[in-house]
Structure 1
C-alpha cells in the first residue's frame, strides 16, 4: 500500500540516529586514543617504558581512557538534559528573542503571515517564532522534537534583506525539516558535539590556569604552572581534533538533507526563484552568525553555513551555494544573477548591512518612519509586505461556491486512496485555502487570536459555537473566574460570529493560529485552561467526537512535557491492541447511524491489525477523556512506519459510503496530530 513519503523520511531520520551514535562512538574512540598517547608520554617512565598497547592495560592507561570517555559522556549528557525541553531551549541558547504573536513590526508580521500560510496548508501547528535581532547575516533554523512543538528562528538579516518570495522559500525549506523529522536529529547532534568538544574545553581551562601569575609564586609553583599550561595546550590540540571530527559528523548527516529540503521548498511554494534568490544573496552577503558562541554547534541546523571554517569543501554542512541553486532548476543561477544586476547594483548589495545597522539605530532613537532608509520604509503597503487584506465581515456569511472555505458538508474519498498519503504533504489547494482563510479573517478577530486572552476565548468558542445563546451562557457560567483563562464575554462575542461563519472546516486552522499565544500562558494557566475545556466538553453529558479530540489535543500540547521527545517503544501492533480498540470503538460509534453499522466498522478496522473472526474484541460502549488521551499516547510510541495503518483504519471508521464529513475529517486531523502526523486541509 502506498503511503506518504513523510513516514519513510521519519523512519529514516530515526535510523540516522543510530548512524549518529556510531560516528560519535568512533570520534570518542579516536579522541580517547589521542589523550592516552599524551598520558603514555607523561607516565611511561614510571611503568618501565612499556609498549603503548601494553601501557593501555595498566592502571595509568585504564584510568586515562576511562576518565576521557567519562568526561565526554558527561559533557554530552549535561547538554542532552539541558535541551530536553526542545526547540525553545535551543532558541534561548543562541540568544534569540521571541516574536510576539501580535507584533506590530511590519517585517515580523510579514514573517508570521508566511509561516501561518505554510502551517495551515501543511496541517502543522504554527511554530513559535524567534529572531536573532543582532545578526545581519541571512540565516534561519528550526528546532524541536515533534512537528507540533517546533520553534523557528530567523536572523534580522533574513527579515530585512529578503523579499517576500525569498523569505517564503526559506520558510518552505525549514518546514521541510519539520515534516521530515530532521529537527530531532539536529538537537541530539548538538548534545553529542558538546561531549566531543569537552576535552578541548578542559585544555583551554588548564592553559589559562597555567598562565595565571599570582602576587607571590615560588619556583616550584612556576614549574607546576608550566606543566599545567603545557598539558592544557596539548589537550587544546586534541580538542581541535575533536572539532574536526564534529564537523565531519555534521557534514555526514546534513548535506543530503539540505538538498532534500531545498527541493521540498520548491514543491511547497512552486517558486524556485524564491529560495534560489535567498541562496544567491547568502553567497553574496554571507550567512555567518557572529553574536553567539554556539554558531559552530548550530551549523548543521541552519539554512546556510553559520560559521567560517577552513577546508570548507570537506567540513561544510551544506553543499556549495551554486550547486544548491543549480539543483533547483537548470540555468536558475544565471537568471537570478541577471535579475539582480538589473535591480540592484553590487555597491548597493555591499552597503545593505550598513543600511540595516542605521535603521536599527534610528528605530532605537525613536526617529519617525519617514526618516528610515528606503529599503525598510514602514509605510510600505501591507499587500507588498505579504499581508492578506481582511475581507469585510459580511462576506464571510455569503461566500461564493468558488471559495475553498465554501462547499459541501461532505467530501468524497477517492477509491483505493489511503488517507495516510496526505500526511506531511502540501497541496496547491491547501495553500489557496490557507490564503483564503487568512484573507477572510476580520482584522479584529485575527488580532485577538494572537493574544493570550483572545486565544483562550477562541478555544471556548470552538466548543460552544453550535449551541443556542442561552445554553452557551449556562455552560460558560461553570468556568471559574480568572483574569486570563476565565470567561470574558466581550472578547468571546467578537470571536463567536467568525467561528460560526467560517464553519467546521476552519476550526482546526484557527486552533493552529492560536497555539503560539496559548503556549505563552503560565503553566498554572495552561492547566486551568485544560480543566475549563474539559468542563465545557462534558457540560451536556454527551461528549462529541470533536470535543474528545480537542480536549486530547490541549492535554498533550499544553502539558509540562509537551516539548519532550517521544521515544519509539513498539515495533508491532500486538502490544497496542487495547489502545486501538479504544480509538476505533470511539470512531465507529461516533460516525455510524446505528449499533450494527458501528460494530461492522469496528470489526473491519480491527481486522486490518490481524484481529478477525472470534478474536475480535467487543466494541466498547464508552471511552472517557482520560482513556482516549492514554490510548493516543501509547499509539504515538509506535514506529513511524506503523502509523499509516492507524490513519487509514481511522478514515475507514468515519467514512460512510465513500464520504467523510468536514467535522469528521477535522477530528481525524486532531487525532493524527496526536500521532505526530500532520495532515493538510482536505479540499473538495
Structure 2
C-alpha cells in the first residue's frame, strides 16, 4: 500500500465529505423551511428559520471540531473513560501493550503515540484518535488485554496504525464534529420536550413548544440518519484497508484473524454512549444495518482465512469469558496486596523482554533495538521526571572538554541535581550504540509531549546551545535537534501536519537537489567521487532522467558549508514540507536511492533519512525495502 496515494485519497474523501455534509445540512434546512411554509409561515419566518438552523448546525460543528483540535486524541480517550498507560506500568498486560505499540511506532517511523486502556470495558475493542501522528493516541479495552494473545494484540494495534498511516484517524475526527452539528437539533428538541413534560401545562405557548420540539426531533434525527449513512459508506471500506495494512505490516494474518474471531465469539461493545466514535472502533457488534460503519466480522475473518468455519466459534465464548473473569479476580487480589504492602509501580518494569517473530522484518528490527537499549536509559526515557535528562545525555559530546562545557550549561539552565543525573547516565553508559540513539529519543516522545509550554521552550533553547557548544553541528546532533523541535512544535499545533499541501517539485528543484546533496555528502564524507555518484542516482529517480554527473555543491564541502549546512537544511525542509503528497513520494524515493547507492547505508544516512522524512510529515519504516527506488523512467520516477 502506498502511503502517499492514501494521503491524497483521504484529502479527496475529505472534500467529498464536506460536500455531502453541506447536502445533508441543505436537506435539514429545506425540510424545516417546508414545515414552516406548511403551517402558514410567511417568507420572513421561513428565511429566519432556515438561517438560524443552518447557523446553529455550522456553529455546533465548528465548536466540537475546535474542542477536538484543542484536546486532540487524548480528549477522546478520556471522554471514553480511558486511563493513560505510564512509562513503567506494573500491570504485565499493560507492559505488553506498551511494548507492542513502541515496536510498531519505531518500525513504521511515526512518533510513539500515547497509550490508554479503557479499564471498565470488558468487550474486545480498540481505537486510534487524533488529527495527526504527533497527537495520536491508541486506546485498547481491558477486555482486549485479557482476551488476546500477543500476536492477536499485535494485529489489533497494527490495524490501528493502519488508520494512522492511511489518514483515516484525521477523517474520523472530522466526522465526529460534523455529526455533532447535525445531532444538536435533535438534542435541542428532546430538551424542549422534556421541559414541557415537567411543567405539565396545556396553554398555547406550551403546545407550540411541544410542536417545535417534536419537529426538531423528527427533522434532526432524519438528518442524522442521512449523515450516519454517509459515514457508514465512508468507513466500511477503510476498515478493509486497515485490515490489509495490518497483515502487510505484521505478516501475520492469523493474529488479526484470531482477534476478529474472539470479537465474534464474545462482544465488542463499550460502556456508555459510543455512537459518536463508533466509526473509529476496531470492531462493532452490529450486523447488516445500513448505518453500520464496519463490515461484518465474519466477512473480515474469511478474507484473512478463506477456510474459516463459523463452527470454530462454538465453545470459544465460554473459554474467553472464563479467562476475562480470572484476569479481573487476579487484578483485584493484586491491587489489594499492593495496597497492604504500600508498593507503587516502579523500576521492576524496566528491562521487560521484547518478543519478535523471525518473519517480521520491521517489527523484529524494532523489537531487537528496543531490547538492546540499556535498562536505565529506557526507564528514564519513559519517565516524565527523567526524560529531559535522557535528551541531555544524548547531546553530550565525546570530547571531555566540550562535554564539561555542556554539563556546566545544563547546571546553569536547569539545576545541579539534573546535571548530576546526566553525569550518572553518562557514567552508566559512556558510549551508546549509534543505531540505538534515535530509538531512545523516540521512546521519550510521549513523556516530552506532556511538558508544559514553558518547559518545551526552555528545552529547545538549551538543546540548541548544547549542540553548538563545539562550534559545529554533527549529523546526529542535527537529527536530534530537528526531530525534537518538530515534535514539540507539532504538539502546539497538531493539525498543522494535516493541512493540505499544494507545492510541486518543479517549484522546488533547487531545494530538492540540496537535500539529496546533504545525504550524498554525509554518506561519503571522504570520497567525493562516491558522493557525486550517489547524488547522480538520486537526481535520476527525482527527475526521471539520469544526468551525466552531479557534483556536490561547494557550499557543502567548504569550511563555511561545514558550519552552515544545518541552518540551510532547516530552511529547505520547511519549504519542502509544502509539497503535495505525490511529489513527496518522488522525493522520498530519490532520498532512499541516494542513501542506498553503493549498497551500504551508514548511520549518518539513516539518521538524516529519519529526520528528513519526519520534517516532511512522512513516516519512514525502519527497514527501507518498501521504498526501493526504480530506475529512471520506471514507476518510481513519477
Question: Normalising by structure 1, what TM-score?
Answer: 0.79
Cross-structure match for 1:205: 191
Per-residue CA deviations over 1:445-496 (Å, capped at 9, x if unaligned) read 322221134322222333336x134432222222254668984334553367
Identify if the C-alpha distance between structure 1 residues 648 and 35 changes in structure 2 by more than 3 Å, giving closer, same or farther.
Answer: same
* 1:196–1:242 Cα contact (<8 Å) kept: yes
Cα shift at 1:186 = 1.1
Cross-structure match for 2:22: 25
User: What is the DSSP-based 3-state SS (H/G/I as helix, E as strand, rest coil) of the residue aligned with 2:228?
Assistant: helix
Separation (CA, whole Å) in 1 of partners of 2:423 and 2:224: 55
Identify if the C-alpha distance between structure 1 residues 658 and 289 changes in structure 2 by more than 3 Å, giving closer, same or farther.
Answer: same
Separation (CA, whole Å) in 2 of partners of 1:602 and 1:440: 33
User: What is the DSSP-based 3-state SS (H/G/I as helix, E as strand, rest coil) of the residue aligned with 1:634?
Assistant: helix
Matched, 1:478 2:409: yes
Separation (CA, whole Å) in 2 of partners of 1:389 and 1:574: 45
Cross-structure match for 2:152: 166
Cross-structure match for 2:124: 138
Separation (CA, whole Å) in 1 of partners of 2:501 and 2:610: 23
Equivalent positions of 1:303-452 (< 5 A) are 303-305=282-284, 312-333=288-309, 336-337=312-313, 341=315, 346-350=317-321, 358=329, 361-362=332-333, 365-366=336-337, 387-388=352-353, 428-452=360-384
Segments of structure 2 that go 5 or more residues without pairing to the other structure are 626-638
Separation (CA, whole Å) in 2 of partners of 1:152 and 1:298: 13
Cα shift at 1:358 = 4.9
Cα shift at 1:164 = 1.8
User: What is the DSSP-based 3-state SS (H/G/I as helix, E as strand, rest coil) of the residue aligned with 1:84?
Assistant: helix
Q: May I ask how many residue pairs the two structures share in their alignment? A: 608
Separation (CA, whole Å) in 2 of partners of 1:517 and 1:543: 26
Identify if the C-alpha distance between structure 1 residues 163 and 603 changes in structure 2 by more than 3 Å, giving closer, same or farther.
Answer: closer
Cα shift at 1:366 = 4.7
Residue of 450, 472, 475 corresponding to 1:542: 472
Residue of 169, 178, 181 corresponding to 2:164: 178
* 1:139–1:303 Cα contact (<8 Å) kept: yes
Matched, 1:635 2:576: yes
Cα shift at 1:195 = 1.4
Q: Which moved more, 1:428-437 or 1:667-676?
A: 428-437
Identify if the C-alpha distance between structure 1 residues 625 and 232 changes in structure 2 by more than 3 Å, giving closer, same or farther.
Answer: farther
Comparing both chains, which one has the higher relative contact order based on Cα–Cα distances under 8 Å and sequence gaps of 6 or more? 1
Separation (CA, whole Å) in 2 of partners of 1:105 and 1:483: 33
Identify if the C-alpha distance between structure 1 residues 627 and 242 changes in structure 2 by more than 3 Å, giving closer, same or farther.
Answer: farther
Identify if the C-alpha distance between structure 1 residues 278 and 602 changes in structure 2 by more than 3 Å, giving closer, same or farther.
Answer: closer
Residue of 269, 280, 298 corresponding to 1:301: 280
Separation (CA, whole Å) in 1 of partners of 2:67 and 2:460: 27
Separation (CA, whole Å) in 2 of partners of 1:353 and 1:303: 19
Cross-structure match for 1:663: 604
User: What is the DSSP-based 3-state SS (H/G/I as helix, E as strand, rest coil) of the residue aligned with 1:298?
Assistant: helix
Separation (CA, whole Å) in 1 of partners of 2:304 and 2:535: 46
* 1:463–1:537 Cα contact (<8 Å) kept: yes
Per-residue CA deviations over 1:324-380 (Å, capped at 9, x if unaligned) read 111101123558537xx4xx6x5454456655655565455557899xxxxxxx9xx
User: What is the DSSP-based 3-state SS (H/G/I as helix, E as strand, rest coil) of the residue aligned with 2:293?
Assistant: coil
Equivalent positions of 1:11-410 (< 5 A) are 11-42=8-39, 44=40, 46-47=41-42, 58-85=43-70, 86-213=72-199, 222-291=203-272, 293=273, 295-305=274-284, 312-333=288-309, 336-337=312-313, 341=315, 346-350=317-321, 358=329, 361-362=332-333, 365-366=336-337, 387-388=352-353
* 1:587–1:653 Cα contact (<8 Å) kept: yes
Cross-structure match for 1:508: 438
Separation (CA, whole Å) in 1 of partners of 2:360 and 2:265: 32
Identify if the C-alpha distance between structure 1 residues 630 and 38 changes in structure 2 by more than 3 Å, giving closer, same or farther.
Answer: farther
Identify if the C-alpha distance between structure 1 residues 585 and 562 changes in structure 2 by more than 3 Å, giving closer, same or farther.
Answer: farther
Segments of structure 1 that go 5 or more residues without pairing to the other structure are 48-57, 371-377, 391-402, 405-425
Cross-structure match for 1:533: 463
Cα shift at 1:73 = 0.9
User: What is the DSSP-based 3-state SS (H/G/I as helix, E as strand, rest coil) of the residue aligned with 1:564?
Assistant: helix
Question: Normalising by structure 2, what TM-score?
Answer: 0.85
User: What is the DSSP-based 3-state SS (H/G/I as helix, E as strand, rest coil) of the residue aligned with 1:141?
Assistant: strand
Cross-structure match for 2:386: 454
